[in-house]
Every structure is written in structure tokens, then in C-alpha cells.
Amino acid sequence: MNGHDFTLAGETLTALGSGALWFGPQRLLCVSDLHLGKSERTARRGGGLLPPYEMTDTLARLEADIAAADPAVVVCLGDSFDDLASAEALPDTVVEWLRRLQAGRSWIWIAGNHDPTPIDLGGTHRDELKVGPLTFRHIADPCARHDISGHYHPKAALNVRGRLISRPCFLHDATRLILPAYGTYTGGLRWTDKALQNLMDGDARAILTGPTPRPFPMPRAACRA
Amino acid sequence: MTTLPARFTDWFAARGWTIHPHQQDMLDRADAPALLLIAPTGGGKTLAGFLPSLVELADGRHAGLHTLYISPLKALAADIRRNLGTPIGDMRLPIRVEDRTGDTSATRKKRQRADPPHILLTTPESLALLLSYEDAPRMFAGLKRVVVDEIHALAESKRGDQLMLALSRLQAIVPDMRRVGLSATVEDPAAIAGFLARHPDPCDILYADPGPDPDIAMLRTEEPPPWAGGGGKYAIPAVLEQVRRHKTALIFHNTRAQAEIFFHELWLANEDALPIGIHHGSLAREQREKVEAAMVRGDLRAIVCTGSLDLGIDWGDVDLVIQVGAPKNVKRLVQRIGRANHRYNAPSKALLVPANRFEIVECVAALEAVKARDLDGDPRGPGPRDVLCQHILIRAAAGPFDAAELYHEVKTTGAYAGLTRAAFDDCLDFVATGGYALRAYDRWQRLVERDGLWQLRDPRAAQRIRMNIGTIQDTDLLKVRMKGRGGQPLGEIEEGFAATLTRGDTFLMGGQVVRYEGLREMTVEVTRRADKAPKIATFMGTKFATSTQLSQRILRMFHQEAWPELPGHTADWLRLQRNRSKLPEAETLLVESFPHAGREHTCVYGFAGRNAMQTLGLLVTQRMERTGLHPMGFVSTDYAVLIWGLDPVTDPAPLFEPGNLREDFETWLAGNAVMKRTFKASAVIAGLIDRNTGGQRKTGRQATFSSDILYDTLLRYDPDHLMMRITREEALKGLVDFGRIEEMLARTAGRVDHVMLDRVTPLAAPLLLEAGRVPVEGAATERLLAEEAEKMLAEAGLADPDPVKPAWRVPF
């Protein structure tokens, strides 16, 4: 699989170019911040009528990752739905699609700030999940060690010889990992943002998503002023 | 002839003035439903426009709004208010004049809606906003005249389309409203008249005396200009000498970045400390106002500026205009020259400063065009549909409407006269339902039809619509401010540029070298400590392509036997090119191939303007890639594109075969960054996405997702969606400029003249020095990332667990 291996708490993890995380020894695939139903929620609130194809796109990419990895466990790391109302208003095709993806494997919905309560869409619901030394939760706990979270939608922005390249990215250091947002309509928070700078250690690395995921040192200077 | 009331003739007499013939004409024709005045700068144009209003209002019997004045610039509205104050005050006319722009306070705006002045001075955007309120019919009830100032400038952009749609709405509210347009000299007055008038009403055109021919020349310098690049740094001593010899000079540049660099260099050489200021659209309002005030007081000897000073603001006693860099467009040059000697019947004095050797040729061609009064311009296309979508939203915000009525109203706008009902319904459907192949928003439509009238589903949406009014494209800009409490605002830079800065980097802003300290709540904080060579800030702003007419003139010059009108070094250069290879011709596409620095080079002299030549470079290298010629990169200018790669081009004709080019174009266009940028602009205008305001970005936990994603999604799932069709149309006439490639193909009709040489030719040599090289895309981005990752990990002392293989460097 097209991924970049690194270790956290002695476990080998693989950052996939799609933005999903593969935990090989456990055959666990983790995706964060799908934000399904985002376009419907935007319309409901009187915003623009965005192209209503983002669920199809997000699920098609997830289906491809599942087909390639054949995971025993899929963890959706919170904010899987843009809000509870959009989760309840999913079209039947999407509900069936989710059931197909869930068939034959265990599926865990972690609660997020957009979808804090259980939703009747198969799988099990958890606030957090422990696997070996690792804890999966939606929002990083600054005091905890070895947690894997999402929520911040980290994104890298690099100026490489005059070209500005911006990509969603994983951030990790010795104690934590933050996943990029997987959903199609999700924005990003620059890796130089204070929230991310404060959470991550000085030697943190970013793994940029894309055709070949690549590690970069997380820049530290710009925002500490 | 309408005689001027005694009060007015006395006033004219007291000032020692007589009424200009065109001012009298305007008065005589005051009842015409539409009237266009073409007058040079300084011709008393504004007074000509207002005189009929002042006369009609002089008896004090008119209650409420009488005249609406629209200008493209807020500053112009304020300037006009001050200027009107003189006759109104002197003659004690019972007339209230107020301006209303984005800078007007909320309480004042509210009062203006309840109790409008006799004359309201405003901008197209503020007018559109006024029309979005339910009480618009009451406010505009007594309106008699609309005066559109600098209509030639408005007609060049979507702001003009928005304004004319707004006028169609106004005319429906007050059918007797008369329209007056004031324009600088333009190449096609009839087109402007058709743009102004209610379709199909006629519109008479009045011409003021154009005045004497301008005194215009090329600045001769001891040092010849460099072979490539822009900026005109070499001419600084000569420019300073000219500033010394004149009272006040305006020094125009084509881009803001060039203005900044030139200003910086000018001050380094300014030993006499002549007071020289800088003015461009990216500077903070406070900064600009300071310069404007100093200018009006006559405190400045020169102002380095860009197009932001193009419009008719009265800046006092300018006696010299200097244009640095080739003017690109003769019409704009003429309008700029008009800035000097703001007095009727005095010749304007102007100097052209070519920035490089090729621009000498371009400047001489432009001078001849000015003498021949041969102006250039492209015909205006049909009204853009993204602006129509916004107009429908604005109409909905003002209250329920009948679709057929609105359609007929829109069709009275010249630019939309040819709009079909089906095309209108497409836009209405997009605004109401999103217009997607997948009908997903039945419950959450934006507009719903009830009892035959369309209205907002959620009336609260009106607020959001009002926040997004306008067609001015603002890239994501960040404010720049001096660090510290109450730090002085300096201006704005592009977010993309800000992202490349790290603490300690320096850049030029308003002529100062400032040091980047950090980002604080979406504001770039800087200090004055500058200890490094400055980076160059990138500013939004159009890079104008050399006009078709000017390019044709240059090609005609190449045809001459000799060039007595050119400086010796430039004539020698062209002669050398003729001896070694050939000079480009209009009817044949000249292609040169030669090895240089270990690479095979091919130079194509298309003369189609910067944007089209860039597009041509992308298309040709794409085909070269497929035919195995291993192109590695290219660089383009207004007249040529230079491509380098591993293999020589031996048969270029198939590369320029129109069928091939068009086919490649279709594929290439879809995934192109220009398309994404164009999509974003249109999506904002059409109301699909909200204008990205600083406030929203600050409060949003995550930045709103990029509009590129919407484009990619539509391309994949709904490629024929209205927004995609609009994007295509816009890109074709805008940055992609495929129209001029078509024009080039038609002109050369398959005639490709291929010259193979053993070394670089005189005409191609400057291109080797040109900035803005484009590496051929594909694996390039990944490769750049790989290299950069390795480098940065090494620098950070982090070993990469799986080392990246050494990759080829992209040359240049």
C-alpha cells in the first residue's frame, strides 16, 4: 500500500496518501472527520447550495481504502457527520452503502463535537477506544500520552521554489498523532496555527498526504512570537 | 438652445469662465433618455454631467432624490462632493449632496434611505446594496437622472454589468429616469452608448473638443535598457532629472510590485531628497489618503503609482506623466497621458520609459499609434451569467418577484439584450435549487415559487446575500500593520505570499523595507528593522497583455527595411536578427530551434499577448511530452514563448496544428489552475460560496475549505453544471485567452517558418533572462516535494527512515 511507516508508542503505523491511518498488526483502518452531510447542512442554514456530491466522493474514497487494506476494524474518529440532523437525513443509498462497507468487519464510531450522540447506522459507538498502548479519541487530550485524534484538520503549506503547495497532513511526535480530515468538504488548519503548535512537541513531524505521503519537520518558528 | 439661468451665467462670469460648447450641448439635450459624453480629462466633464441637475434643482421645488451619480472609485465620489460644493455654495443653491460608499457610517446610511439627498454620489456596489432593500422603490421614487462617470472604465469589467443590471431595476421603478454617461476617449463610442442606454433605446453621443495633441516622447537614457525584465531601474537617474525639471510628475507602473521596487530604488538615488510619494491599490486607505492630501496641497514632486491613479480624480498640478514599462495598450496610455496638465487646451506632456530592449520597439509602436489616434480595445462580450445570478439574488432579497417580469427587465440591459429565456431560467434554477443533476435540495431551496412569485425560502438569507454583493475579485488578502498597540496600518499582501514568510524576512510595503514579525489574528505584523535584502511582495492585480492592435503594429515595424525611429542599439539588434535568422511576420508563425547550455531550445514568436503565449506554452509542451521530445520547461512574454527540453524539435508544424491544439486545450483546461481560480471568482459572484472576509476566517475553527475542491467535485460528478459552463466562458476570454491563440492560428493559417540554428538568436536571447519560468508539470511537483523533504529533514537533523532516492533536479 502507498504509505509512510512511523512508530508511536512502539507500534508501527502507516500514514496512507489518502489521509487514512493503517495499523497493520491490528488490521485496523482509521479515518477522521468525514463530515458527511456537510452540503445539506450548509443549505439548511441558508448558505450556498454546494454541489451535493461530497458524500459520494468521501465514501468512494473510503471504499477504495477498505478494498485495498481489507481491515478487520474500521474506526471513524469523530465528526463523521456534519451534524446530527444531517446524519438522520442521509439518503437511503448512503445508508445502504455504509452497511455494505460495514459487512464482515467491526465498525466503530467515535463521538465528535459535531456528532456527540449515537446514531442508528450500524457499528458501535464509543467516546474513545483503547488498542494496546494507543487511545483513539476525537480531540487530542494535552495531558494524555499515546493518543490518536482528529478534529483539527491539520494542513501543511510549503513554498517550494516559488510554488505554494498546500496539503492535508498527519502530525506526530513521540506522544501523539493527529489525523488529517478525510471528508471531501473539509477545510484545513495551517500547521503553523497556535492550537497545533501548542499541542505538538518541538521535534514533531508532518506527513503530507498525496500520491506519495512524505514526512516533513513541522515548522516551529513563525507563530511562537 | 437652453439658456442658463442668470444665477449660473453670473457665476461663470465671476470666475472668468464661459460655458464649454459640450456643457451647453449637455444642457440642450438634458431631456434625452440616454446621452453619452466623450471628453478628454480636464475638459469640464463632471460639470457638464451635473449642470442639468443643478439647473433643474435650482428652484428648490424638487423633494427627495433627483440625481444619482455613480463612479468606479469611492475616492472619486468624495472628490466630486467637494467639487460640487463650490458652485452650490457660491450660487447658494438649495441642493443637498451626499456620498454613500463602503466607508459611509451605518447611521448615515440609514438616514439616507429614509431621507435621501437631492444628489447621491455612490458606487455600483453601494447601488446594488440599496436595491436589495424592500424600501428601494420609496427611496428612488422621485429620481430623474443617473450620471455614470468614467463609464469606459466600468464597461471593462463585471462591475459595469452589475451596474447596468441595477439601472434596469431602477428604470422599472422610475420609468422616466434619464441616463447620462461620461467617458474618456475610447475606440468605439457606439459600443459604450449601447452599453449605457436602455435597450433598444437610442443613445446620442456628444464629443468635446479633444484638445491639442499630447507632447509625448520616449525617454532617452545614456545607458541602454537591459535585455530582459521589467521595472526600469536603469532609468532612475534620468527619471530623477525629469522630476527635478517639472512641478509634479506621475510615474506610472504596470504592476504594484514594480511600483514598490522602483520607489525603493528611486529613494536610494534621491540625493536631493525630493518629496516623492507612492500610491497603489494595496496600500492602506490611511496611507493613500496621506499621499492624496499631500498631492492636492502640492507638497509632492512625484508620485510613483499604478492604475489606481488612472481615473479622473483632480490631483492638482501634474505637468508630466512618466510611463515606466511598455504601455501594453494604447487606449490606457492615452488616458494616462491625460492626467498631465489638467487644464483644457494645454497639451499633456508624457515620457515613455521602456523597461527592456524589446519594449523600446513596443514604446515606439505605441507612440505612433497615439499620434495616429489609433486606439485599441476588444469588443465587449455578452453580459456574464454569474453577475446575472447575483442580480437575481439581489432582486429576491428586495422581495417576491415575477420571473417573466424580471427576465424582460434584464433584457433591457444592452449587455443582456440577447439573453434567451432558457439561459435566464438556467440562472434562476441555479439560484433557486443549485441546478444540479442530482436534485438534492428540495427541502432547502434558496428560492421558492409561491403563488407565481419567487421569494427567499428563509428571509434571513437576505442578510447573507447583502454581505456578498459585488463583483470585485479579492484574492485572500491579509492586512499588514506595524507591530505594537495601535500599530500603523500599511496595506495588504496576498495570503499566499504571507505564508512564505518566516520571522526576520523582509519585504517592501509602501516604499519601506519592513521585517516580518508574525501573524496575529489574520494581520501580518511587521517592524521597521530591516537588515536583509527585501523579498518582493506579490500583489493581486492584472497583468495586462499587449493588445492585438499594438502587436500588429510591432509586426509591421519588423517588416521595414530600416528603423530610423529606433535608437541605434535597438536597430542594430533587429538587423542582427534579420541576418542570423528572420524577423517575425504577421502571416507566418516563426519558430526557431537551437541548442543552448546543453538543452534544446525552441522559440515561438506568436505575438498573441502574455496570457495566450503562456497558454500556448502549456499546450505545446504537453504535446511535446506525448511525442517524446522531453520538454522541461518554458517561459513566455507578450510576443514569444521559449521552450527547452532534451530533444530538438525538427518538425514543429504538427505542434501548431489547430486541431491538435484545440483537442489538447480541452483536456488541459479541465484540470488547470487558471480554471480553478476563475471558478472561485465566478462562484463567489454567483452566490455559490461566500466572500471570504477576514472576520469569518478569524472565527471559523477551521478555515473554510478550498473552492478548488468544489471545482474538482463538479468536474467529476456534474461537469455540465452552470458554474462549470460559466467558468469555461470566463477562462477563455480571461487568463487563458484562447481567443488570441485562435486569432494567431487564423492569421498564420498553418504557415510555420522553422529556422534551425546552432546557437541562440538575438531576438530569443532576452527570453533566456526572463523571469517566470514554468517547469513542465506532471511528476514535477512530487519531485520537488521529495527534494524539499530530504533537504528539510537534513537541516532539522532528522534522518529520514526511508531515504528518498536522489531525484533529477528540475532545471531552473
- Identify the residue with better confidence: B794 or B4: B4
* CB nearest A50 (choices: B710, B785, B795): B710
pLDDT at B258 over 80: yes
Are residues A161 and B433, on separate chains, in Cβ contact within 8 Å? no
Alpha carbon distances (Å) from B84 to B78, B80, B119, B471: 10, 6, 10, 29
- Residue type at B136? A
Count of alpha carbons within 13 angstroms of residue B224, beta-carbon side: 16
pLDDT at A213 over 90: yes
Burial of A84 (C-beta count, 10 Å sphere; 0-12/13-18/19+): middle
d(CA B376, CA B128): 31
Residue B501: list chain A partners with CB under 8 A. 222
pLDDT at B587: 93
A8 by DSSP, 3-state: which? strand
Q: What is the DSSP letter of B599?
A: E
- Identify the residue with better confidence: B503 or B609: B609
Q: Are B366 and B550 in contact (CB under 8 A)?
A: yes
pLDDT grade, residue B676 (50/70/90)?
confident
d(CA B67, CA B88): 15
What is the residue-wise DSSP string for A96-128?
HHHHHHHTTSEEEEEP-SSS-S--SSSSEEESE
pLDDT at A225 over 50: no
pLDDT at B699: 38
> Is the Cβ of B474 closer than 8 Å to some Cβ of chain A?
no
d(CA A23, CA A29): 6
With the C-alpha atoms ordered B269, B272, B273, B275, is the resulting torsion angle positive or negative?
Answer: negative
Report percent pLDDT > 90 for chain A.
79
Are residues A5 and B517, on separate chains, in Cβ contact within 8 Å? no
With the C-alpha atoms ordered B670, B676, B682, B686, is the resulting torsion angle positive or negative?
Answer: positive
* Domain limits, chain B: 6-207, 215-371, 477-527, 566-777, 778-812
pLDDT at A165: 79
Instruction: Tell me which CATH code domain A3-217 carries.
Output: 3.60.21
pLDDT grade, residue B800 (50/70/90)?
very low
Residue B785: list chain A partners with CB under 8 A. 158, 160, 165, 208, 210, 212, 214
d(CA B392, CA B685): 11
Q: Pick the residue of B483, B680, B702, B787 with the most A CBs within 10 A to test the interface with A by mutation.
A: B702
pLDDT at B735 over 70: no
pLDDT at A15: 97
- Residue type at B704? T
d(CA B256, CA B508): 11
Cell numbers standing for residue B68: 444619482
Residue for grid cell 527635478 = B244
Q: How large is the ipTM? A: 0.90
Alpha carbon distances (Å) from B426 to B163, B408, B421, B539, B693: 21, 15, 9, 35, 29
* CB nearest B703 (choices: A53, A189, A223): A189
pLDDT at B798: 53
Q: Residue range B708-725: average pLDDT?
A: 93
- Domain B215-371 - what CATH class? alpha beta
Q: Are B311 and B150 in contact (CB under 8 A)?
A: yes
- Identify the residue with better confidence: B669 or B437: B437
Bond before B52 cis per omega within 30 degrees: no
Q: At what angle do helices B673-685 and B385-398 cross, to 10 degrees?
A: 20
Q: Are B774 and B618 in contact (CB under 8 A)?
A: yes
- Identify the residue with better confidence: B403 or B77: B403
The CATH H-level (homologous superfamily) assignment of domain B6-207 is: P-loop containing nucleotide triphosphate hydrolases (3.40.50.300)
Report percent pLDDT > 90 for chain B.
47
> Could you tell me the strand order of the sheet in which B178-183 lies?
B97-100, B119-122, B67-70, B145-148, B178-183, B34-38, B204-207
Q: Pick the residue of A50, A138, A218 with the most B CBs within 10 A to test the interface with B by mutation.
A: A50
**Long-range contacts of A2-8, Cβ-Cβ distance < 8 Å, separation of 24 or more:** A2/A211, A2/A212, A2/A213, A3/A213, A4/A207, A4/A213, A4/A214, A4/A215, A4/B802, A5/B801, A5/B802, A6/A172, A6/A205, A6/A207, A6/A215, A6/B801, A8/A134, A8/A146, A8/A148, A8/A172, A8/A174, A8/A176, A8/A177
pLDDT at A163: 60
Cell numbers standing for residue B169: 431595476
Alpha carbon distances (Å) from B740 to B634, B682, B734: 19, 22, 10
Distance from CA of B496 to the nearest CA of A (A): 7
**Long-range contacts of B579-582, Cβ-Cβ distance < 8 Å, separation of 24 or more:** B580/B757, B580/B761, B580/B762, B581/B755, B581/B757, B581/B761, B581/B762, B581/B763, B582/B753, B582/B755
CB pairs under 8 A between A and B: 148
Q: Are B612 and B731 in contact (CB under 8 A)?
A: no
Are residues B802 and A216, on separate chains, in Cβ contact within 8 Å? no
pLDDT at B691: 78
Q: For residue range B618-644, what is the model confidence (pLDDT) as tens digits? A: 889 888 888 888 888 888 888 999 998
pLDDT at B700 over 50: no
Beta bridge partners of A166: A157
pLDDT at A223: 42
> Of B110, B689, B135, B69, nearest to B390 (Cα)?
B689
pLDDT at B515 over 90: no
> Is the Cβ of A85 closer than 8 Å to some Cβ of chain B?
no
> Of A141, A155, A225, A218, nearest to A187 (Cα)?
A155
Distance from CA of B785 to the nearest CA of A (A): 7
d(CA A122, CA A115): 15
pLDDT grade, residue B776 (50/70/90)?
low
Distance from CA of A224 to the nearest CA of B (A): 8
Distance from CA of B802 to the nearest CA of A (A): 9
* Domain limits, chain A: 3-217
Maximal C-alpha separation, chain B: 92
d(CA B419, CA B192): 19
Count of alpha carbons within 13 angstroms of residue A137, beta-carbon side: 14
